[in-house]
Amino acid sequence: MQSDSAIAALGALAQSDRLAAFRLVLGAGKAGMASGHIADRLGVQPTRMSFHLSTLERAGVLSSRRDGRHVRYAVNLELMRDLLGFLTEECCAGHPEICAELSGTKTARELEDIS
């Protein structure tokens, strides 16, 4: 990932309604969520939410698809993986297992020990 792409993604997420929408849509998985439902769940006016969702889509954080009369948004998981990798590639002097503690996820070594 290039710095410009990371800055665009982080900039798009750096607003409370957009961050809340991203987190809500992330929870919906690959199926995504209709824009009207996102607005309802977050208590945001539909036109304002549409503006925020468009900002997230332009930054590549979300993708959209038409579903009948509705537009469904889903998180661009590939971009998010790239962004997280970009942010942590220099993590902890070559010891990325330390970063796993920050996210609450298990490192590859811990997963191997479980198997």
* Mean local confidence (pLDDT), 95-110: 57
pLDDT tens profile 16-51? 999 999 999 999 998 999 999 999 999 999 999 999
What does pTM read for this prediction? 0.78
DSSP label of 65: E
Which of 103 and 49 is assigned the larger pLDDT? 49
CB-facing half-sphere around the CA of 25: CA atoms within 13 A:
30
Backbone CA torsion sign across 4, 81, 33, 17? negative
Domain ranges in the chain are 3-78
Domain 3-78 fold:
Arc Repressor Mutant, subunit A (1.10.10)
Q: How far apart are CA 101 and CA 103, in angstroms?
A: 6
